[in-house]
Amino acid sequence: MGVEYHEVFIRNSRGVQLFTCRWLPFSSPKALVFLCHGYGMECSRFMRGVGTKLADNGYAVFGIDYEGHGRSAGARCYIKKFDNIVNDCSEFFKSVCAQEEYREKKRFLYGESMGGAVALLTHKKDPSFWHGALLVAPMCKISEKVKPHPVVISLLTKVEDVIPRWKIVPTKDVIDSAFKDPAKREEVRENKLIYQAKPRLKTALEMLRTSMHLEESLHEVTVPFLVLHGEADIVTDPEISKALYEQASSKDKTIKLYPGMWHGLTYGEPEENIEIVFSDIISWLDKRNGENTGDASLIERSVCRATSTPPYEMHTVSSPATMKETKPHRTRPQANYLCGLKGRRMHHHSSM
């Protein structure tokens, strides 16, 4: 199936120029999928694999670079208000859905890392509008192991309006921790659209507040969702996805855990692992669109991790790359991290 790619610049309600892109199948799409990228990331290059893979399987895929990210205007990776990101996404996504050729199509959100938080908050703005969400290693809760002390938060909050754009938040180079494949790790480093400096103070606090807010309201999530997480992820804790699965009020919810896989499930893993992840994503989408996938291999490689009443599912998925080799030991550091993700103490930061 062929894929068309288009780019369009739009202006948000604050007059800021934002970059948008879309991957379209040549035939009428099965449904619409809207991409929410991670912190410091962008859509046109980094999420090209997601867009082309889903479009090649019949889905129309739409992406937007947040203000200050990628090819959009604004101070680089400066998040003055997290709500601005959510509002921009919601307005753009709904403008697409309102187009005549898409009005009758089902609508799905797709979020990676911080984009998982964006997707969940976009859903919460209008819960009945969305038919489902795909959440890849989402930032939706802060692990108790790394939650900053209230005194630290209080001190930083007192100076955030004085030095909001200062790049003073110390964290480890996340690229090394997020992407397993060394060649793909270097591709990320070479992508100049990806922010690779230290987080700004206001940005870090906005992400922290957003994570804490989501943590307190996971029970309000009602959208059908598939959450996917690598069990060797030390950027966002897999326990976060488990908490979402356990606490969400959604009647249709699925979690898939991948032993040995890292944070970058759709880009940073060996190709055979990426194929497993996309197979699970497409199978989930097809089933919600009434497609009979007949994918026996999915059942064979999925081992039930916990029993529950259908349609609840919880799977752990073995990957060829992890079955063939001894799993390396990756320690979970005692971290100083303010962005709802994980990191190590007092080191230079890179993007995710």
Sheet holding 302-304, edge to edge: 3-11, 17-25, 60-64, 31-36, 106-112, 132-136, 225-230, 253-258, 313-317, 302-304
Burial class (CB in 10 A: 0-12, 13-18, 19+), 307: exposed
Indicate which residues carry an active-site annotation: 113, 233, 263
Asked whether the beta carbons of 33 and 58 are under 8 A apart, the reply is: no
Asked whether the beta carbons of 249 and 221 are under 8 A apart, the reply is: yes
- 181: which DSSP letter? S
Omega prior to 311 cis, within 30 of 0: yes
The residues, ordered by sequence, that sit 6+ positions from 265 with a Cβ below 8 Å of its Cβ are: 136, 137, 228, 229, 230, 258, 273, 274, 277
